């Protein structure tokens, strides 16, 4: 795949006072790809190590599970308004972080995030682990409107 050139070039003075162009070349995928050599959210992370890629996948999986837990937490219903605001802000920030990770277009990252959301919803949002006396009638959360 052809690499994309960074739009900005830096001009650096060398020892004789002339200016030199230094352009950073980087690969930017615009379709899903498979492989451990990717950058997720931060430059150089997870690198080219298989162990760091596995750690990245695990971190993203548990971040998605945590996001689902925060989405279905009783704190959002029973906590004070400050606590509700903190939980909402944390959940939103984690959701955006997961979305940015998905923009790496790595297939393993995509599967880890989807699996994390699925497991998180199964455990915290669905009726699978709750008693039948629960008043909730639907597994999907209803849209709340303050109209």
**147 in any annotated domain:** no
**46 in any annotated domain:** yes
Supply the range of the domain harboring residue 112.
Answer: 37-131
Tokens of 135: 């008043």
**24 in any annotated domain:** no
**13 in any annotated domain:** no
Question: Which three-class secondary structure state does DSSP give residue 42?
Answer: coil
| Count of the separate structural domains present in the chain | 1
Tokens of 143: 């849209």
**136 in any annotated domain:** no
- Residue written as token pair 């944390």: 90
Under the banding of pLDDT at 50, 70 and 90, the label for residue 29 is low
With a cut of 90, say whether residue 52 has pLDDT above it: no
106 φ/ψ sector (left φ>0, alpha ψ -120 to 50, else beta): beta
Neighbours of 7 (CB within 10 A): 6
**116 in any annotated domain:** yes
| Maximum mean pLDDT: which of 119-123, 126-130, 142-146 | 119-123
**30 in any annotated domain:** no
Across 64-89, b (16+ Cβ under 10 Å) vs e yields bbbbbbbbbeeeeeeeeeeeeeebee
**11 in any annotated domain:** no
Answer yes or no: are the C-beta atoms of 53 and 108 closer than 8 Å: yes
Under the banding of pLDDT at 50, 70 and 90, the label for residue 141 is low
Give this prediction's pTM: 0.66
């Amino acid at each position: 795949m052809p690499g994309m050139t960074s739009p900005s070039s830096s001009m650096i003075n060398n020892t004789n006072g002339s200016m030199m162009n230094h352009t950073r070349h980087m690969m930017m995928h615009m379709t899903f790809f498979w492989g451990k050599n990717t950058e997720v959210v931060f430059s150089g992370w997870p690198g080219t190590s298989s162990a760091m890629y596995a750690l990245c996948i695990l971190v993203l999986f548990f971040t998605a599970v945590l996001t689902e837990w925060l989405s279905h937490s009783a704190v959002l219903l029973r906590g004070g308004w400050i606590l509700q605001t903190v939980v909402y802000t944390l959940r939103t920030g984690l959701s955006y972080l997961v979305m940015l990770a998905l923009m790496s277009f790595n297939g393993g990252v995509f599967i880890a995030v989807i699996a994390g959301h699925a497991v998180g919803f199964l455990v915290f949002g669905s009726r699978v682990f709750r008693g039948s006396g629960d008043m909730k009638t639907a597994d999907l959360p209803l849209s709340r409107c303050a109209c």
